[in-house]
């Protein structure tokens, strides 16, 4: 129970994984139920995920972590079969809020999975339309039959190769094995008749009831797949030479020696196999042919392709990852004459692509879920809660159609709109709708066009080679790049390291790997403009220093086109171009702060003032009120000497001035001693965190803007800011002529050195009630309770080893909590979270949540830092998961469980985001109230 010294009924919390967002890691199988409009994806780790309309999700996990190699739906029943790599077959049903292994009889232990003889490895499954018999093709060439739902083997139905070879002509037999069964396809018009395709090329139309072959098709090319034409007058076979053949099916003809036609579409030179082929009929009379593979070996053998053909329309979809499987959404009603496919769904190794087959040009459809979070490697993330409707409307893209629409989402509309922002290695920032179960992509921002890179496209628009229409006519195969997964960054310096968004002013700051800090504003119109550039050399007065890292990105010197959305206003370029390690934005003051391993700086993006570095060596005597005010332009040249020296020369830092506040550690009986760290750490100058606050720093009477910075060496610097137009801690209207020429000024007000030099992870100023200060504009627009400014403020500093609260303005220690260094525990992430009462609607408490390098989460009340509860959440070996964790303000969070998937969790019993859905089918009604693992 979670009670904050309140009655136990008020609060309830617990760590609960609620839903997985993103694209399944290492997918291995795909299936579709055309009656229920549900899609299933199996993975190499043994997971099965079922998707319908956005918000409809079911998840199951096999006991063993064997790869799922095939999935087969029992259409309309809410059941499915899975084949694993260990040669076992499992029957699943969507019941009671989760996907579970079917138990027969009810409530008894499940029967053991069917394990076929070791010599008969399963190669292919076919469920007959009656849904009571499963045909199993094997490597040995035998076909077995399983009764459903009992999963019992029908021995009297087994079809072995010997029974087939006896019927073959002598010249075809030649003593050779027919090879594994590659494909099984039931006759579309006559139940109980099955096409059996063998690897050697033989295809048999087998009558199950009569137990005899109706027709044999004596193919000689190695077989890959089979597909019936809807009327069953013909079928198509694809082969390993990159060709396909059309075979007519006629009664009274026992043997067919030659197909009606054979084609190698990308010949005549040797081609790769066509792994799978589909033939779909349309009302226009021209079939749609879809097949994967078939590329010329020498020229395009490494391409991952799928071809769509209809009459003269021919396109080769060119993907960046391997094709796992695909299907079409089309008419399955028996009284309909044509398939009339509406969509093509392609499961790739790294993403899901859906093609609209009814719109000319066959465009891609945006996915409302299963979008590849890792289209470029995720480098950072940021969560924004309670997004204002105006901003949401400008970001959201309405009117998207989606062909997989099974089930019903029963979840109520979200009480607030939530954004998850992800920064990527290729310099993009992606905005995701994180309000519900389906993590839906909203918008993608690219920062690459702010710079000149090595991969800039040619500016010569007259060059015919740059004309896509010309390329379409001349190029063969007619490739079209499809999908958004692109693991290769044009320039690694573009990588996004930090993101900060003000949801009220629509200002966005993104900072990157090469010291670039970009301020952007939201615009609904396309714009061609030149981005203002301000360069600051953090070490320009340091002689003898040589930067041995990468060069900075060169900004464009000409106006560049920027699409509607967030558009760059100004670029701040740090020198040396080291990676930006911290960013803070205060849109109400028009200020940004940024930090690297060489110092930190402040920038007024409203007046476009040059970035000014702040460094503590210019501190003044602080026994009395702060009287001297130092221009930031003057401090530019002095450039953060103390941090720089520890970074460049590695000399031991000592603070001997009487103005310093040193934390004296006293070991409490219940807390283990923290181990001191060396002052010679070459990374001691890295700025770990920055924050703005309107608080009391000069004295206990006057409050005003301040900037706080924490470093890797356990140093905290607090600066009093003089911001034109900001007086007595209240925002004033800006824009006057006299104000525009006045510079922001800063003075080092306080300096804290943690005795054990542990890196500072987080700094937060608390008001007179012990509550965190509201975000910029929140209180001014009556969107949050105004901070308490009459009682004394305090500052909460979290280092990797301890939490401590200091009173302001004297910076005297009030309370602390030490985490153990003896067990190797280090704080990795800190957040202040609001927990709402489950019993009292209008009551809530702020709580400090700490995630450690051991993967556990500790909850503390504030400002007392009293431990509340601890949860084991993430495996300590999962370094990526711990590093990627991001908290929401209402007690939820996200962390990467694979490069392409976020696990969503909740620490609050009241705030949960989990599937709440139903699927109505012929067998039963399945209700889902959150997924669970089998």
Q: How many CA atoms lie within 13 A of 748 on its CB side?
A: 21
625 falls within a domain = no
**For the segment 252-268, what is each residue's pLDDT rounded down to a tens digit?**
778 999 999 999 999 99
531 falls within a domain = yes
Does residue 511 share a domain with residue 487? yes
Does residue 846 share a domain with residue 805? no
Radius of gyration for the alpha carbons in the chain, expressed in angstroms and rounded: 33
- More confident site: 248 or 535: 248
pLDDT, residue 439, reads 93
Task: List the one residue out of 311, 368, 312, 363 whose CA is nearest residue 54.
Answer: 368
Lowest-confidence range among 95-109, 306-320, 807-821? Answer: 95-109
| Residue 887 clears pLDDT 80, i.e. is over it | yes
51 falls within a domain = no
Of 817, 834, 866, the position where a domain reaches its end is 817
pLDDT mean over 839-852: 86
pLDDT mean over 344-373: 95
Cβ within 8 Å of residue 471, ≥6 positions away: 465
Distance CA 798, CA 793 (A): 17
Beta-carbon count within 10 A of 798 CB: 27
Distances (CA, A) of 354 to 325, 333, 338: 12, 22, 21
Distance CA 395, CA 69 (A): 39
Task: List the one residue out of 364, 359, 324, 384 whose CA is nearest residue 504.
Answer: 384
Does residue 526 share a domain with residue 393? yes
Average pLDDT, the chain: 83
pLDDT band of 906, cuts 50, 70, 90: very high
Does residue 553 share a domain with residue 525? yes
Asked if residue 747 lies in contact with residue 628, where contact means CB atoms within 8 angstroms, the answer is yes
The reported pTM is: 0.86
Q: Label residue 590 left, alpha or beta by phi (over 0 means left) and psi (-120 to 50 means alpha).
A: left
- More confident site: 728 or 310: 310
Burial class (CB in 10 A: 0-12, 13-18, 19+), 275: middle
Task: List the one residue out of 619, 585, 586 whose CA is nearest residue 746.
Answer: 619
Distance CA 592, CA 518 (A): 10
Of 577, 599, 614, the position where a domain reaches its end is 614
Does residue 413 share a domain with residue 490? yes
Task: List the one residue out of 214, 191, 196 whose CA is nearest residue 158.
Answer: 196
The residue with tokens 């300590």 is 876
- Residue 145: its H or E element: strand 143-147
Does residue 504 share a domain with residue 415? yes
% of the chain residues with pLDDT over 70: 82
pLDDT mean over 440-462: 74
3-state secondary structure 523-591: ECCCEEECCEEEEEECCCCCCCCCCCCCCCCEECCCCEEECCEEEEEEEEEEECCCCCCEEEEECCCCE
**For the segment 872-882, what is each residue's pLDDT rounded down to a tens digit?**
999 999 999 99
Asked if residue 204 lies in contact with residue 255, where contact means CB atoms within 8 angstroms, the answer is no
148 falls within a domain = no
99 SS3 class: strand
Torsion of CA 915, 920, 924, 928, to 10 degrees: 10
Q: What's the token pair of residue 422?
A: 């992800």
pLDDT mean over 782-807: 92
Distance CA 753, CA 713 (A): 8
Q: Which domain holds residue 910?
A: 818-920
Does residue 913 share a domain with residue 803? no
Asked if residue 481 lies in contact with residue 472, where contact means CB atoms within 8 angstroms, the answer is no
507 SS3 class: strand
910 falls within a domain = yes
Can you give the length of the chain in residues?
934
Does residue 519 share a domain with residue 610? yes
Burial class (CB in 10 A: 0-12, 13-18, 19+), 63: exposed
Distances (CA, A) of 906 to 46, 54, 885, 909: 25, 21, 12, 8
- More confident site: 685 or 854: 854
**For the segment 534-580, what is each residue's pLDDT rounded down to a tens digit?**
988 777 667 777 888 999 999 998 999 999 999 999 999 998 999 99
Does residue 910 share a domain with residue 839? yes
pLDDT, residue 628, reads 28
pLDDT band of 466, cuts 50, 70, 90: very low
| Residue 730 clears pLDDT 70, i.e. is over it | no
Does residue 912 share a domain with residue 896? yes
Does residue 875 share a domain with residue 783? no
211 falls within a domain = no
730 falls within a domain = no
Does residue 861 share a domain with residue 809? no
Burial class (CB in 10 A: 0-12, 13-18, 19+), 403: buried
795 SS3 class: strand
Task: List the one residue out of 222, 329, 352 whose CA is nearest residue 278.
Answer: 329
- More confident site: 827 or 648: 827
* Number of domains composing the chain: 3
Of 779, 795, 817, the position where a domain reaches its end is 817
490 falls within a domain = yes
């Amino acid at each position: 129970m979670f009670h904050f010294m309140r009655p136990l009924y008020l609060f309830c919390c617990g760590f609960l994984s609620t839903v997985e967002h993103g694209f399944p890691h290492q997918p291995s199988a795909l299936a579709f139920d055309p009656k229920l409009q549900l899609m299933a994806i199996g993975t190499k780790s043994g997971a099965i995920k079922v998707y319908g309309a956005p918000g409809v999700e079911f998840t199951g996990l096999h006991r063993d972590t064997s790869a799922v190699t095939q999935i087969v739906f029992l259409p309309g029943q809410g059941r499915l079969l899975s084949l694993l790599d260990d040669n076992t077959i499992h029957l699943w049903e969507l019941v009671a809020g989760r996907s579970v292994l079917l138990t027969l009889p009810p409530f008894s232990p499940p029967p053991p999975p069917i394990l076929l003889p070791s010599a008969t490895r399963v190669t292919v499954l076919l469920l007959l339309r009656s849904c009571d018999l499963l045909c199993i093709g094997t490597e040995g060439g035998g076909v077995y039959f399983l009764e459903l739902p009992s999963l019992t083997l029908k021995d009297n139905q087994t079809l072995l190769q010997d029974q087939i070879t006896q019927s073959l002509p002598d010249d075809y037999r030649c003593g050779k094995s027919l090879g594994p069964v590659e494909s099984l396809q039931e006759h579309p018009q006559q139940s109980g008749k099955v096409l059996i395709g063998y690897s050697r090329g033989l295809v048999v139309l087998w009558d199950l009831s009569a137990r005899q072959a109706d027709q044999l098709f004596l193919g000689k090319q190695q077989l890959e797949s089979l597909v019936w034409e809807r009327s069953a007058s013909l079928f198509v076979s694809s082969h390993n030479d990159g060709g396909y053949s059309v075979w007519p099916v006629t009664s009274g003809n026992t043997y067919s020696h030659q197909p009606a036609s054979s084609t190698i579409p990308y010949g005549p030179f040797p081609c790769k196999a066509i792994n799978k082929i589909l033939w779909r009929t349309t009302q226009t009379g021209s079939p749609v042919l879809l097949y994967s593979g078939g590329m010329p070996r020498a020229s395009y053998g490494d391409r991952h392709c799928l071809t769509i053909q209809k009459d003269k329309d021919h396109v080769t979809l060119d993907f960046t990852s391997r094709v796992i499987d695909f299907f079409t959404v089309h008419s399955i009603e028996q009284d309909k004459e044509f398939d009339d496919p509406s969509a093509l769904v392609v499961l790739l190794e790294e993403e899901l692509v859906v093609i609209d087959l009814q719109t000319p040009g066959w465009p891609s459809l945006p996915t409302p879920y299963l979008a590849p979070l890792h289209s470029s490697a995720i480098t950072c993330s940021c969560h924004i809660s309670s997004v204002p409707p105006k901003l949401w409307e400008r970001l959201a893209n309405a009117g998207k159609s989606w062909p997989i629409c099974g089930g019903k989402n029963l979840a109520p509309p979200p009480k607030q709109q939530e954004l998850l922002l992800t920064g990527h290695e290729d310099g993009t920032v992606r905005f995701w709708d994180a309000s519900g179960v389906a993590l839906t992509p909203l918008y993608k921002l690219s920062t690459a066009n702010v710079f000149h890179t090595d991969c800039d496209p040619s500016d010569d628009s007259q060059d015919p080679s740059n004309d896509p229409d010309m390329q379409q006519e001349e190029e063969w195969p007619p490739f079209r790049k499809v999908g958004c997964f692109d693991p290769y960054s044009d320039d690694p310096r573009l990588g996004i390291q930090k993101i900060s968004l003000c949801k009220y002013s629509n200002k966005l700051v993104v900072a990157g790997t090469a010291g670039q800090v970009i301020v952007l504003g939201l615009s609904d119109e396309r714009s061609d403009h030149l981005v203002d550039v301000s360069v600051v050399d953090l070490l320009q007065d340091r002689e003898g220093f040589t930067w041995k890292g990468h060069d900075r990105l060169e900004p464009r010197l000409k106006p560049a086109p920027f699409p509607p959305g967030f558009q760059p206003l100004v670029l701040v370029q740090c020198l040396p171009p080291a990676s930006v390690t911290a960013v803070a934005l205060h849109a109400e003051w028009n200020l940004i702060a940024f930090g690297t391993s060489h110092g930190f700086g402040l920038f007024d993006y409203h007046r476009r003032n040059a970035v000014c570095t702040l460094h503590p060596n210019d501190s003044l005597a602080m026994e009395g009120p702060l009287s001297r005010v130092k221009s930031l332009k003057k401090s530019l040249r002095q450039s953060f000497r103390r941090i720089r020296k520890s970074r460049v020369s590695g000399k031991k830092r000592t603070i001997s001035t009487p103005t310093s506040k040193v934390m004296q550690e006293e070991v409490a009986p219940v807390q283990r001693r923290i181990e001191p760290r060396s002052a010679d750490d070459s990374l001691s100058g890295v700025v770990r965190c920055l924050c703005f606050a309107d608080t009391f720093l000069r004295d206990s009477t006057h409050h005003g803007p301040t900037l706080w910075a924490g470093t890797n060496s356990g140093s905290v610097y607090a600066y009093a800011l003089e911001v034109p137009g900001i007086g007595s801690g209240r925002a004033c209207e800006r824009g006057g002529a006299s104000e525009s020429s006045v510079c922001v000024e800063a003075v080092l007000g306080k300096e804290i050195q943690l005795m054990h030099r542990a890196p500072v992870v987080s700094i937060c100023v608390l008001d007179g009630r012990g509550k965190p200060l509201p975000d910029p504009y929140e209180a001014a627009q009556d969107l949050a309770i105004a901070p308490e400014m009459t009682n004394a403020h305090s500052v909460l500093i979290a280092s990797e080893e301890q939490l401590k609260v200091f009173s302001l303005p004297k910076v005297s220690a009030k309370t602390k909590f030490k985490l153990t260094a003896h067990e190797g525990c280090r704080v990795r992430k800190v957040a202040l979270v609001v927990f709402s009462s489950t019993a009292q609607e209008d009551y809530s408490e702020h709580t400090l949540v700490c995630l450690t390098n051991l993967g556990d989460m500790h909850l503390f009340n504030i400002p007392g830092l009293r431990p509340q509860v601890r949860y084991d959440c993430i495996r300590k070996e999962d370094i990526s998961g711990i590093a990627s964790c991001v908290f929401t303000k209402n007690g939820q969070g996200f962390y990467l469980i694979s490069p392409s998937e976020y696990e969503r969790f909740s620490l609050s019993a009241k705030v949960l985001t989990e599937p709440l859905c139903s699927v109505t089918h012929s067998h039963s009604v399945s209700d889902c109230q959150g997924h669970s693992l089998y």
